[in-house]
A = this chain, B = another copy of it.
């Protein structure tokens, strides 16, 4: 029996605003940041569980404070009891009757819960000697479903349906694990598309990302100026040719009527999707846009606050591509529910990544989905940006435009604190 002995947070901020990498119509000057947490136990295995919330600067201190404030309840608790039934840990935070007033299930508190639960799953995976994607994939359907909270979801997905999906996912699992280890999982690149880049830089990067690095899709930021967008899209499509997919991302800059008018000028570019046309909270708005811009598909999800929003987007058919984020919701259990709902409603999931640690984190869930839920990579790929990977013990590796399957035990997000500590926020 071991107990939780210490929980430590780190407020890391990287000065990315100086390069305009990460600039888009809504976020002109992000400083990629991480509210990072490390959980220690009394076990003599030396394992520390790590988790984090990605932010873009100001307020990262508030997320650290939320993690510290809520996680005191874990100190002294039996680790094995938590790890053997992660639903206990979920309930401890998500259903804390006082904390839920601060959401419920959204914003700073919900993201902080996600960091803490991710750190516990990290310990569980490290103790099992497996990368998180494999740990999740090898759990028995009933065992995994027992960790999940279907509250507010049963009009769309029941525990019984979830078990059926996972049982179906057992067929051919060994072959898919082998394929994943051999080939990896498709990525796509956003490196060329930041709004602060000149046309020349954009075109050069678009060619490099596709011809040299092998990505089959690139994505451009749009929404600041329609003429700029049309010119950049024409140049990008010319640079990459007709066979590489081209997506655009407006980062929530439009109201519904503006989004429809603007996007309907994009029909000539054979777009893979238009991402975040408006507020992520506007289910009905997205459904309206999706109908009006057909056949261009809507994609959204990187700032979707909880499984309850995903449920509604799926029920309303408000997007064609579902996106997820690794640190926006309450950790692995909520992300697994998102994938199970996507499977039920037959939507492809293309995770958001980039930032600090998001590539390292989110690939585990896409790979779990491929192995144990959807069983396919068709129309699915993970965003990739080459940012801050050098601060991770096991940085994301890309080969021929594919994410290499991580094999190190854990959730993949452990940082090399020695190199990162010079980015600790001093206030």
Contacts and interface: CB of A to CB of B under 8 A. Distances in A.
A31 B110 contact: no
A288 B303 CA distance: 25
A151 interface: yes
A309 interface: yes
Contacts of A101: 27, 30, 55-57, 59, 303
Contacts of A151: 255
A395 interface: no
Given A97-B26, A256-B155, A104 B280 contact: yes
A110 B106 CA distance: 11
A288 to B, nearest CB: 7
A255 B63 contact: no
B102 A107 contact: yes
A31 B153 CA distance: 29
B97 A103 contact: no
A101 B55 CA distance: 6
Interface stretch (A65-73, A218-226, A227-235): A65-73
Given A97-B28, A281-B105, A257 B56 contact: no
Interface residues of A, number: 63
Nearest to A315: B284
Given A58-B96, A59-B99, A62-B69, A255 B108 contact: no
Nearest to A107: B107
Nearest to A153: B255
Nearest to A253: B151
Contact of A107 (B29, B108, B155, B312): B108
27 contacts: A27-B97, A27-B101, A29-B98, A30-B101, A55-B98, A55-B102, A56-B97, A57-B101, A59-B66, A59-B70, A59-B101, A61-B69, A62-B62, A104-B280, A104-B303, A106-B305, A107-B109, A108-B109, A152-B256, A152-B282, A152-B285, A154-B258, A281-B305, A281-B309, A282-B312, A284-B311, A284-B315
A174 interface: no
Contacts of A278: 152
A263 interface: no
Interface string A282-322: 11110010000000000000010110110110011000000
A388 interface: no
Given A105-B279, A106-B107, A281-B309, 12 more contacts: A26-B97, A27-B101, A55-B101, A55-B102, A56-B97, A59-B102, A104-B252, A104-B303, A152-B255, A154-B255, A155-B288, A279-B308
A189 B336 CA distance: 43
Interface in A240-268: 252, 255-258
A161 to B, nearest CB: 14
B98 A31 contact: yes
Contacts of A282: 152, 308, 311-312
